[in-house]
Amino acid sequence: MEILAFGVTADEKPLLERAFAGQHEVRCLDVLLSEDTVPIAVGYEIVSSSVNADLGHRVLNALSAGGTKMIAQRSTGFNNIDLDVARRLGMTVGRVSYYSPHSVAEFAWTLAMAVNRKVVRAAIRTRDFDFRLNGLMGRDFHGRTAGILGTGKIGEAFARIAHGFGMTLLGWDVARNPACLELGMTYVDKEELLARSDLISLHVPLLESTHHLIDAAALKAMRDDAILVNSSRGGLIDAAALVDELRAGRFAGVGLDVYEAEAGVFFLDKSLEAVEDDTLARLVTFPHVVVTGHQAYYTADAVGQIIDTTVRNVADYLAGRRSENTLVPSP
């Protein structure tokens, strides 16, 4: 069987082809699955999608009409998939429920360190042989407070690194993680966490209840010199409200690997096009803001695990099995 995979990067392609070798052929495309590209999938029973694919009702209906019966999403998040429509169409949907939490946690710390120590600004200066230190002063994380919203596997990994820095740990979640408690984490309500934390990192999934978890009121509750990092989902932060606070001169730094309107922008080369998103355009102009293109997961270890799980999801579908990765089972 030939599987069609959308949104495959150049680094990912040989890993994906190697993983399916001897089992199935895989056709890799670098374009994202959308209403414009869905006609390519006609005749493919199994389609693999990436996190920013459009799997709304129009795309799902087009896929079903073209013969697609199984969607293997290569990500943990699945808020881009209309599961009710997939269920009505009798389509099987699988995702990757787990991959290395260290990849995202370590990148969140990369962003935190980059904005704290002004690494991007310093690197740009030294390219011009400007070695002055003016404006590059950061601060020690040791002895300060890290607030972690979401203390699952990734949040726990982030907390372990913070503990290594010698930070006080505050946590917020619907359930307490025993491993985080062993690190000395104190669980508090969101308002207290925001008010007390020097560094705030987001590690919760994007659900209806967490959309704009960091809204205008939450941003105002944060310390003026706080550092905010989001490597989870863009919709957790009200980006327009964040711009308003940044314009007011607030926050020591902001690191964003995700953005609430990133679909159709991230993973694509937009360097020769006019920027239509005024909020994103404004965000990247602030000298103490670092924006990256949803790359926190992008390590050989994590991508390898994602691909291996995708191969298993395809095998489970063909064998009529369910697993913890099955979002919509075979009818």
* Residues known to be catalytic: 233, 262, 294
Distance CA 252, CA 215 (A): 18
The β-bridge relationship of strands 92-94 and 326-328 is antiparallel
Residue from 191, 207, 195, 149 nearest 173 by CA: 149
Q: What is the CA radius of gyration of the chain?
A: 21
Q: How many CA atoms lie within 13 A of 325 on its CB side?
A: 27
Residue from 171, 200, 204, 173 nearest 79 by CA: 204
Instruction: Tell me the three-class secondary structure of 244-312, residue by residue.
Output: HHHHCCCCCEEEECCCCCCCCCCCCCCCCCCCCCHHHHHHCCCCCEEECCCCCCCCHHHHHHHHHHHHH
271, two tokens: 């360097």
The β-bridge relationship of strands 70-73 and 326-328 is unpaired
5, two tokens: 């995979």
Q: What are phi and psi of 147, to 5 degrees?
A: -105, 125
